[in-house]
Structure 1
Amino acid sequence: MPDHSTEVPRLSWAEVCARRLERHALSAPSEDTGPAGIVGAMAGTHAQVMSAAELAVGLRLAGATRTDVREALWTEHSLIKTFGPRGTVHLLPARDLPLWIAALSALPVSQVGFSDDVRMTPGQTEEVLAAIGDALRDAELTIDELGEAVVRRTGPWAGDLVMPAFQGMWPRWRQVMHLAGMRGALCFGPGRGRKVTYTGPDRWLPGFVPADTRAALTHVVKSYLHAYGPATPQRFAHWLNAPARWASDLFASLAGELQRVEVEGAAAWVTAGDTAAPSTPPRGVRLLPYFDGYAYRVGNQPPGLLYPGRAAERVLRGNFQTLLVDGVVAGLWHQRRSGRRIDITVEPLVDLTAAQRDELDHQGERVGEILEARPRLTIGVVTVGGHA
């Protein structure tokens, strides 16, 4: 991939951390961006645990609470909850959904890790995807209702209980449920009591159609590099769960729009011209929820730099809620809710200064505000394991 100048810009690890904090609105919460803008700046927000997604977005918005995120999802529909990068549940900006769906649809289809008697043929896969889209076109259905609709439109084979799941078996069709979200046939609907519902994104986005594939892939690469860069094609592939060779070819095809830089002597890429770093070093204490700190690791940074010292053995190998100090992982935390109270336990792995300890207390208060509860923060050992 050619350079845009003979002088390759060089960035220090501290400058990369400062860029990351600033672009994720973690150096200071955004005063003038709504939930959709924050999610766009993050290149999507992991939402497998909805309370964690609400906290991830709320921490980046001055004065926001989980109610603001819920209104963006279920009232304004400026956010869409669906299956995104890595086939996992994400929040994505509604305005960018045509681009994301086109890009995710262009990913090489990986072989599902099921045996031949469980796996569907390519023809069956397309039949199920069409059935899901048809069933959800004008409806909000629970998983059981959707399953019945899929079987009616395909045949009994789609409902065969052949997929091991938790302590039971799931019907065959569910192995491509994430693919239905990535293809734009499905997204999450509002809860029906305690039950999750699914619907079609075109119900909230009239005229929804996927964007041009080239434009969509360019958008996703540049969104990723803005949020997580400088990065390499290999790290992009890991973040998107795509083949490394495919990602390398994609970066090569965008050579005229990307620029090579060096981070601590290692080659990486940014969007052309996007080489600036904040003038101040990375500063701040932040409590990142489940999957937020994990996204930091999957998104880009080398674990040896992002998880220095004891953090490498204590936090790296699990999906913990992380304590971030000056842009790197410096501990872990856990919260337990009981009614209107949240007990927060923080386990720092470094010595905190008096100013950092004061900032940690403010972060605990902010967590309580976002989750609309009364917080009580203590320093101690986190005894629970990482989230699955």
Structure 2
Amino acid sequence: MPLEDLPMWTGALSALPSVGSQPDPIRMSADEIDQVIMAIGEALAHDDLTVDELTEEVVRRTGAWAREPTIPAFQGAWARWRQATSIAANAGVLCHGPLRGRQVTYANPHRLRPFEPMPAEKALTELLHRYLYSYGPATPQQFARWLKTTPTTVKPYFDDLPRVELADHTVWYAPGDDQAADIERAEGVRLLPYFDAYGVGSYPRELLFPGKAFARATARGQAGNYPLLLVDGIVAGVWHQKKSGRTLHVTVEALTSLNRRRRKLLDAEVDRLAAILGAAPSLTLGEVTVGAHA
């Protein structure tokens, strides 16, 4: 993430409603969370710390309750304060630091560049506009899913945005994004890699993964676990690559027939991929036997 975007991200993320994932007996109160966030910010103000070192500093600043082993993890339990790790990151006082040998450390991003979180309304508005410019047109439900919040939280930010009808759905787009208003069906053939943003972030799923594509090209509904064959912007199969010596072997399992024009476009995609990897292309049309990426 660019440093100049930290004010926007911290302003937006820290404004989202926090839903506690821990049961009531061990869930931290709002006051305890505030204490932990302040303690983390102070503890990391000058040094990178491992989680054990940070635990000592948080407990010293807040109290013994923060050390209580209450969060089930692996074969034991983590200290209670660690419920607030993601909240502290959203608030802009915690990020990953450099490895210390094989140990992970945490740092305070303010040491890289001092900043103030952007006001919540301004930050969420800016983030929404950027999202729509990248992934739009889209709906409040889709933006909420991407941001891991509720549609009710983000819906007011759509009120003044331009909208258009797409496949019998009302969708919104970013102000000034004239191309989004002039929607034209995509044409061509593309090979997308694992976890490409287009496949993972685009909705509605039934439009992007029609018919057999949903079952074949997702892992129990999770997109990204298979490389995708796109035909005219729609998922039409999966593919796999394997480099052997100086040859790149590409297998494409198409779920729709490829006419001569589309086959030529697919050949060009494979040639391009092989050129990037410095290999000679070899294309096979047939079943992909490799399973989903974990």
Give the structure-1-normalised TM-score.
Answer: 0.63
1:309 counterpart residue number: 211
Corresponding position of 2:116:
209
Q: CA deviation at 1:268?
A: 1.0
2: distance between equivalents of 1:303 and 1:151?
46
Match of 1:139 among 31, 41, 47: 47
Report the counterpart of residue 43 of structure 1 in structure 2: none
Compared CA separation, residues 154 and 313, structure 1 to 2 (3 A): same
State the match for 1:162 in structure 2: 70
2:97 to 186, 189, 201: 189
| Structure 2 counterpart SS, 1:163 | strand
Question: Which structure has the larger Rg over C-alpha atoms?
Answer: 2
Name the amino acid aligned to 1:328.
I
Aligned partner (choices 166, 180, 184) of residue 88 of structure 2: 180
Higher relative contact order (CA 8 A, sep 6+): 1
User: Residue 267 in 1 paired to residue 144 in 2?
Assistant: no
Distance 1:312 1:94, change over 3 A: same
The aligned residue for residue 16 of structure 1 is none
Flag the 1:295–1:94 CA change in 2: closer, same or farther, 3 A.
farther
Task: Tell me, yes or no, if the aligned pair for 2:226 and 2:292 is still in contact at 8 Å.
Answer: no
Alignment pair present for 1:329 and 2:239: no
SS in 1 for 2:46: coil
Identity %: 38
- Does residue 14 of structure 2 align to residue 96 of structure 1? no
Going from structure 1 to structure 2, the CA distance change for 1:291 and 1:177 (only over 3 Å counts) comes to farther
* Consecutive unaligned residues in structure 2, runs of 5 or more: none
8 Å contact kept, 1:187–1:200: yes
User: Which amino acid is 1:327 matched to?
Assistant: G
> Partners in 1 of 2:169 and 2:100 — Cα distance?
50
Shift of 1:170: 2.3
CA contact (8 A) 1:127 1:154 kept: yes
**How do 1:274-293 and structure 2 match up within 5 A?**
274-276=177-179, 277=182, 281-290=186-195, 292=197
Give unmatched runs, 5+ long, in structure 1: 1-91
Q: Is the 8 A contact 1:333 1:382 kept in 2?
A: no
Of 61, 64, 88 in structure 2, the residue corresponding to residue 153 of structure 1 is 61
Once the two structures are superposed, residues 178-210 of structure 1 have per-residue CA deviations (whole angstroms, 9 ceiling, x without a partner) of: 1111110112223334333221111111x3111
1:220 aligns with 2:127: yes
1:367-382 map, 5 Å? 368=277, 381-382=288-289
For these two proteins, the number of residue pairs brought into alignment is 281
Counterpart among 151, 156, 171 of residue 79 in structure 2: 171
Instruction: Please report the TM-score for the alignment, with normalisation by the length of structure 2.
Output: 0.80
Check conservation: 1:142, 1:198, Cα contact below 8 A: yes
The two structures, once aligned, show a CA RMSD in angstroms of 3.3
Q: 2:266 pairs with 356, 377, 380, which one?
A: 356
